[in-house]
């Protein structure tokens, strides 16, 4: 039987991974919201974002100025890589999905799988088929909170993720553009009648989703200390599960789903076996699809009428 010595580290690990899943799942859910399409290339954005972060980190770390100023280093790396990932995400939509929008619904999906394979191979061939080490920018210090041990990187990942999620919630609910995103997700034709340029909104959604996915990629690199061209798949499938669990199309649902999946996985690892850890996500995905296809917070059916 598992005891707290096993559960707590797994739980902290689960929450950390959950934060990463949540960030990634926002990209799936927002894109689904506006286009009713699953963006299979999103997992490769996570991978690409990790590499963009790696280049930027390696570059900035050449300057003593940045070496001595952690906050500035991290801010620059995150913001710049978010821009690059965001542009990549928006460009994929523009080039690979938009021309196919008027065809049947399967075509963009196939195109997305194509983009995914293309990006994986591109990064493998131009960079490396091997894992690349990720520079550690701050020391892993352990903190003791009662019976729970948490390290500085875990704290950093959880805080960064929550920060971006709060910012996204604010943007979507409190700004004119954000409300236009919600309108476009609930009824694209009526959104057009409001004078909303829905193509711009779709580009914006891809940009935001990819920027957040890129951040998640960097966080993965920092957490595990290495990244690889095929790293996107596992995170993609788990974040997708998180999005379905929370109710696909629903932004708070994706956040909730991400954390829940991370926690459930860690409990499964502690109580059953860590060897089965990756299987839990699939079991949860199947259970949700069978018993509650709209997910925990999903209400798209009502939303649409």
Who contacts 122 (Cβ-Cβ below 8 Å, separation ≥6)? Answer: none
Q: Which residues of 251-279 are buried (b: 16+ CB within 10 A; e: fewer)?
A: bbbbbbbbbbbbbbbbbbbbeeeeeebee
Residue holding tokens 């875990």? Answer: 154
Residue 192 lies near another protein (rule: CB under 8 A):
yes
Q: Does 180 contact another protein by CB under 8 A? A: yes
CA 13 distance to own-chain centroid: 17
Q: Is 169 in the site for another protein (CB under 8 A)?
A: no
**Is 275 among the residues that bind another protein (CB under 8 A)?**
no
- Shortest Å distance, C-beta 219 to another protein: 31
Smaller CB separation from another protein, 290 or 305: 305
Q: Which stretch binds another protein (CB under 8 A): 40-48, 113-121, 123-131, 186-194?
A: 186-194
- Residue 68 sits at φ, ψ, to 5 deg, of -90, -5
Residue 296 CB, shortest distance to another protein, in Å, is 16
* Distance from C-alpha of 275 to C-alpha of 204, rounded to nearest angstrom: 39
* Cβ partners under 8 Å of residue 291, min gap 6: none
Question: Please, what's the largest Cα pairwise distance for the chain?
Answer: 60
Distance between CA atoms of 66 and 117, rounded to whole angstroms? 35
CB of 127 to another protein, least distance (A): 40
Distances (CA, A) of 43 to 39, 72, 138, 232, 256: 9, 28, 26, 4, 19
User: Closest CB to another protein among 55 and 171?
Assistant: 171
Which class for 127: exposed (0-12), middle (13-18), buried (19 or more C-beta within 10 A)?
middle
Q: Which stretch binds another protein (CB under 8 A): 17-25, 53-61, 188-196, 215-223?
A: 188-196
Which residue, 187 or 278, is less far from another protein as judged by CB? 187
Task: Report how far residue 35's alpha carbon sits from residue 188's, in angstroms, rounded to the nearest whole number.
Answer: 9
CB of 98 to another protein, least distance (A): 14
Closer residue to another protein, CB minimum distance, 136 or 173: 173
Question: Would you count residue 194 as binding another protein (CB under 8 A)?
Answer: yes
Q: According to the binding rule CB under 8 A, does residue 30 interact with another protein?
A: no
105 touches another protein by CB under 8 A: no
Which part of the chain contacts another protein (CB under 8 A), choosing from 115-123, 137-145, 183-191, 203-211? Answer: 183-191
Give yes or no for residue 193 binding another protein (CB under 8 A). yes
Residues forming contacts to another protein in the complex (CB under 8 A) are: 176, 179-180, 182-183, 186-187, 189-198, 299, 302-303, 305
């Amino acid at each position: 039987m598992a005891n707290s010595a096993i559960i707590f580290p797994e739980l902290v690990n689960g929450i950390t991974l959950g934060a990463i899943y949540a960030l990634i799942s926002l990209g799936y859910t927002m894109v689904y919201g506006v286009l009713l399409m699953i963006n299979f290339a999103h997992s490769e954005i996570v991978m690409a974002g990790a590499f963009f972060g790696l280049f930027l980190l390696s570059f900035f770390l050449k300057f003593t100025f940045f070496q001595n100023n952690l906050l500035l280093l991290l801010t620059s790396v995150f913001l710049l890589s978010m821009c690059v990932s965001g542009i990549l995400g928006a460009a994929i939509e523009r080039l690979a999905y938009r021309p196919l929008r008027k065809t049947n619904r399967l075509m963009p999906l196939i195109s997305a799988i194509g983009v995914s394979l293309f990006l994986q191979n591109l990064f493998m061939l131009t960079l490396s088929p091997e894992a690349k080490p990720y520079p550690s920018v701050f020391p892993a210090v352990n903190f003791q909170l009662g019976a729970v041990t948490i390290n500085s990187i875990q704290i950093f990942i959880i805080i960064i993720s929550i920060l971006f999620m709060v910012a996204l919630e604010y943007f979507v609910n409190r700004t004119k553009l954000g409300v236009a995103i919600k309108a476009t997700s609930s009824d694209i034709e009526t959104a057009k009648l409001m004078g909303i340029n829905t193509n711009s909104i779709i580009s914006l959604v891809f940009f935001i989703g990819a920027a957040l996915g890129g951040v998640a990629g960097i966080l993965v690199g920092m957490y595990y200390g290495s990244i690889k061209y095929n790293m996107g798949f596992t995170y993609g499938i788990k974040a997708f599960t998180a999005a379905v669990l929370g109710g696909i199309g629903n932004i708070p649902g994706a956040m909730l789903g991400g954390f829940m999946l991370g926690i459930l996985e860690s409990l499964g690892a502690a109580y059953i076996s860590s060897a089965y850890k990756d299987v839990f996500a699939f079991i949860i995905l199947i259970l949700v699809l069978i018993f509650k296809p709209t997910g925990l917070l999903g209400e798209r059916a009502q939303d649409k009428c």
